Structure 1
Amino acid sequence: MYTEQIKRIKDKISQLEDLDQDLEVFGADTHEYTLNPVLDEKEVSKFEQEHKVTLPKDYVAFITQIGNGGVGPFYGLQTLAEASINEEEMLVMGNSTSALLQKPFPHTTAWNPLEQLGALDDKIADAYDKGDEELEEELYEERLEIIGGEEHDYGRLNLCDYGCGITLFLVVTGEQKGIMWTDDRMNDGGLYPSIELENTANLSFLDWYELWLDNSIAEFE
């Protein structure tokens, strides 16, 4: 499974590295076209058993046949271990990696918390104007809970740093399993299926990765 696509991707990585000797592609000076050693299937199975999750098969094909992170879109790919840890969420909520991965990612379409916050922001402004600091703080905490609720971190591997606080992630649990999504809550962009590569359709991991290679190679043509 995925044999032909894996071969194409390997060839295109080599082609892009040859073309980009000066590391002109965005983020190339970070990963420098270096792939981490692959994982063997036993290591992947151990991870899945420990966390009670089944990873998308095309992603498994990549980390067992091409590399466990390294060269990739934007600032490169995290390793499986790095991608599965949401340090901020565990620090704040005390959740384990397993707890976050096992619960289904809650969204099936783009979601932007700003659409829910208009009336709440008006209340916060009103409390500020009245000097009611206690109510203002209470409402602000409610606002933070809407934007940063732990459910938005369920069922995802944070694979890629786009910069400016934007994270690209692979859904591993829930209806959107296998699809690449973007977390742009930091810039009020919400959560949405990834479109940074100018694609209009939702992309699986390997299709997303290969599209990045195609776009990058095209920059030199």
Structure 2
Amino acid sequence: MSLNSRLKQVSEKLNLLQPIWQQERNLRTSYIEEDEVFVHQPVPSSQLDDIESRHGINFPEAYRAFLEQIGDIVVGPGLGMEPLEKSIYQHSSESFPLDRPFLGELSIEHQSLPESEKRESYLSLGKQWDKIPKEHGVLLIADYGCAIYAMLVLNGPMIGQIWMQQGEVSYYGPYGGYEGFDDERYTFEGITNTPSEYYFLEWYEFWLDVQIREWVDLEE
């Protein structure tokens, strides 16, 4: 599917959901001001150029197209999408620090250890986790609560992907495996050392599809 076709599909799904959200006033991001939830204007290309220039970053193509065609929208996965200007770190222009997922306690190797050896592994993984620059080469795209964050990778081999940070288990890797945070019905397929990769629009549309099932199907 082309980028424009996918964005059109995302826009249609948002348009389908918004009247229901407005009627029910009971979505996960209801703590956000009403206008912020439902009003989203496309961001002019010149404004995005200025933001990129000021911060020394380049938005991944699909994310930039989303901002230009749909807007700087806050309704989304987790506790809602971070507003664009608040999502940028001082070190967002730096190189993304990882060339492979840091699976931490979610790795098969750690999970397979005898209980007597897990504490030592836990401490070692925690020290390695602490050394990873968490704000380099990313935008904070969504907060899931409990110190779990969705990051949009801005550069390097994983550019455009959504990676999750969860310090409690020393995990910094793809969204795959975290689907249950957005979909209570999601069936977790078990620990893997190769979590599924989600690019921005895949991640956002996955959440939209869950919302359609929960709200539109309920209405019908």
Instruction: Name the TM-score class by shorter chain.
Output: 0.7 to 0.9
Q: Secondary structure at the match of 2:24?
A: coil
Once the two structures are superposed, the pairs formed by residues 83-102 of structure 1 within 5 Å of their partners are 83-85=87-89, 97=90, 99-102=91-94
Q: Distance in 2 between matches of 1:17 and 1:189?
A: 36
What residue number does 1:42 align with?
Answer: 46
Q: Distance in 1 between matches of 2:212 and 2:132?
A: 38
Equivalent AA in structure 2 for residue 72 of structure 1: G
Provide closer, same or farther for how the CA distance between residues 101 and 113 of structure 1 changes in structure 2, counting only shifts above 3 A. farther
How many angstroms does 1:121 deviate by? Answer: 4.3
Provide closer, same or farther for how the CA distance between residues 27 and 120 of structure 1 changes in structure 2, counting only shifts above 3 A. closer
* More displaced stretch, 48-57 vs 209-218: 48-57
How many angstroms does 1:100 deviate by? Answer: 3.8
Instruction: Quote the RMSD (CA, aligned, Å).
Output: 2.9
What residue number does 1:8 align with?
Answer: 9
Provide closer, same or farther for how the CA distance between residues 121 and 159 of structure 1 changes in structure 2, counting only shifts above 3 A. closer
What residue number does 2:28 align with?
Answer: 26
Task: Give % identity.
Answer: 23
Deviations 1:98-132 (A, max 9, x none): x442222314224327969726849xxxxxxxxxx
Q: 1:75 aligns with which of 72, 79, 88?
A: 79
Q: Distance in 2 between matches of 1:105 and 1:210?
A: 27
Q: TM-score, normalised by structure 1?
A: 0.72
Residue pair 2:13, 2:208 contacting (<8 A) in 1 also: yes
Q: 1:157 aligns with which of 133, 139, 143?
A: 139
Q: Distance in 2 between matches of 1:118 and 1:60?
A: 43
Structure having the higher helix fraction is 1
Q: Secondary structure at the match of 2:93?
A: helix
Q: 2:196 aligns with which of 191, 198, 201?
A: 201
How many angstroms does 1:206 deviate by? Answer: 1.1
What residue number does 1:210 align with?
Answer: 205
Equivalent AA in structure 2 for residue 40 of structure 1: P
Residue pair 2:97, 2:132 contacting (<8 A) in 1 also: no
Q: Secondary structure at the match of 2:172?
A: strand
Q: Distance in 2 between matches of 1:167 and 1:7?
A: 27
Runs of 4+ in 1 over 4 A off after TM superposition: 113-117, 119-122
Q: TM-score, normalised by structure 2?
A: 0.72
Structure 1: any 5+ residue segments left out of the alignment? 86-96, 123-142
Provide closer, same or farther for how the CA distance between residues 61 and 107 of structure 1 changes in structure 2, counting only shifts above 3 A. same
What residue number does 2:214 align with?
Answer: 219
Q: Distance in 2 between matches of 1:119 and 1:165?
A: 21
Aligned residues: 188
How many angstroms does 1:174 deviate by? Answer: 1.6
Q: Secondary structure at the match of 2:52?
A: helix
Residue pair 1:105, 1:171 contacting (<8 A) in 2 also: no
Provide closer, same or farther for how the CA distance between residues 120 and 158 of structure 1 changes in structure 2, counting only shifts above 3 A. closer
Q: Distance in 1 between matches of 2:126 and 2:206?
A: 35
Structure 2: any 5+ residue segments left out of the alignment? 111-117, 181-185, 187-194
Q: Distance in 1 between matches of 2:119 and 2:39?
A: 42
What residue number does 1:91 align with?
Answer: none
